[in-house]
Amino acid sequence: MASSSSPFMAKLSLALLVLFMGSATAQLSSQDFYSKSCPKLFPTVKSTVQSAIAKETRMGASLLRLFFHDCFVNGCDGSVLLDDTSNFVGEKTANANRNSVRGFDVIDNIKSAVEGVCPGVVSCADILAITARDSVVLLGGPSWDVKLGRRDARTTSRAAANNGIPPPTFNLNRLISRFNALGLSTQDLIALSGSHTIGQARCTSFRARIYNETNIDKSFAQTRQSNCPRTNGSGDNNLAPLDLQSPTVFDNNYHKNLIQNKGLLHSDQQLYNGGSTDSIVRSYADSQTNFFNDFVSAMIKMGDISPLTGSKGEIRKNCRRAN
């Protein structure tokens, strides 16, 4: 009895092992994931991103930031796009996102255009990943093959976002710790922070730095103070470029600024403040090629954070709500 059933048991064990391994190591696929199911995907996304950036150059930075804030909360699952429901309060009103994260209407337009060429096929999470890449490229940065196959979350929470997204008040050790917890190295932290070479920040995010901190260039601080009053509640939403030189061009000026103590956010300047990461910042300031290469690697790595694949999650028809 035992000997006659052993081949069957062996096959069953092997099947279960393969099944377990498949679910435990679910991974994203290559850029060709939608090549047959949605062959017009990439040009459709790119043309819509291009149109949005043509209307407002800052939008490129906003779309890139959406992908960051999505991946740092329960992985890259499109959860940042969900509106609140009677069942949950979502991420849009979290501390890091409230009155700050933007571009949701552009994602709506992209999703609508993609649904027009291949309905029910492409996830909102994958659209965020492609949109981030296209935004970087259109603003002069590097390109890369985006890994695909993510599915969309059906729910999320504001608490998860409050706990997941590092605020601009973090010091270096806390930044490193948060990135490490997501499988991102210290080098990834410095490279990904280079995305602050584009975009703007609100006065509330940098007020304490420009008035209270000493590791800041005095003329730079005075320039920023002219549009950001000391008093809380006054000019809170006034904007300043994260990169003084070229806020609409993806380059390595962000790292050059840090060496001159011209980082706008406290968390920015922490990367170059006499600590363990100074040498990495200098290497990126010296070589844009080095920065671009490491940024690409870090973006691909970040895009791998806890994706929903296979039968998990869903392909949302509307990025703002579950089906």
70 marked ligand binding residue: yes
Asked about 266 being catalytic, the answer comes back as no
In a domain, 276, yes or no: yes
Contacts of 318 (CB under 8 A, 6+ apart): 111
pLDDT at 13: 46
Q: Are residues 210 and 293 in the same domain?
A: yes
Q: Choose between 193 and 245: higher pLDDT.
A: 193
pLDDT(229) > 80: yes
Q: Are residues 156 and 191 in the same domain?
A: no
Amino acid at 220: F
Percent of the chain topping pLDDT 90: 89
pLDDT at 25: 44
pLDDT at 316: 97
Percent of the chain topping pLDDT 70: 92
pLDDT tens profile 23-49:
334 589 988 999 999 999 999 999 999
Mean of the per-residue pLDDT values for the chain? 92
Q: Are residues 120 and 237 in the same domain?
A: no
188 marked ligand binding residue: no
Q: Are residues 161 and 191 in the same domain?
A: no
pLDDT(226) > 50: yes
pLDDT tens profile 246-268:
999 999 999 999 999 999 999 99
Spot the catalytic one: 46, 58, 65, 69. Answer: 69
Q: Are residues 151 and 48 in the same domain?
A: yes
Compute the CA torsion angle 236, 99, 141, 57 (nearest 10 deg): -80
pLDDT at 191: 98
In a domain, 238, yes or no: yes
29 marked ligand binding residue: no
Contacts of 155 (CB under 8 A, 6+ apart): 79, 82, 87, 88, 322
86 marked ligand binding residue: no
What pTM does this model have?
Answer: 0.90
End-to-end CA distance of the chain: 51
75 marked ligand binding residue: yes
Q: Are residues 146 and 66 in the same domain?
A: yes
Q: Are residues 74 and 150 in the same domain?
A: yes
Element spanning 202, H or E:
strand 200-202
**Total domain count for the chain?**
2
43 marked ligand binding residue: no
pLDDT tens profile 45-74:
999 999 999 999 999 999 999 999 999 999
Phi and psi at residue 322, in whole multiples of 5°? Answer: -70, 155
In a domain, 122, yes or no: yes
Strand partners, 201: 240
Residue-number span of the structural domain to which 215 is assigned = 184-301
The CATH number of whichever domain residue 127 belongs to comes to 1.10.520.10
Q: Are residues 249 and 136 in the same domain?
A: no
Q: Are residues 133 and 194 in the same domain?
A: no
Pick the last residue of a domain from 105, 131, 165: 165
The CATH number of whichever domain residue 222 belongs to comes to 1.10.420.10
In a domain, 32, yes or no: no
73 marked ligand binding residue: yes
Report d(CA 88, CA 313) in Å as an integer. 16
Q: Are residues 133 and 240 in the same domain?
A: no
pLDDT tens profile 274-305:
999 999 999 999 999 999 999 999 999 999 99
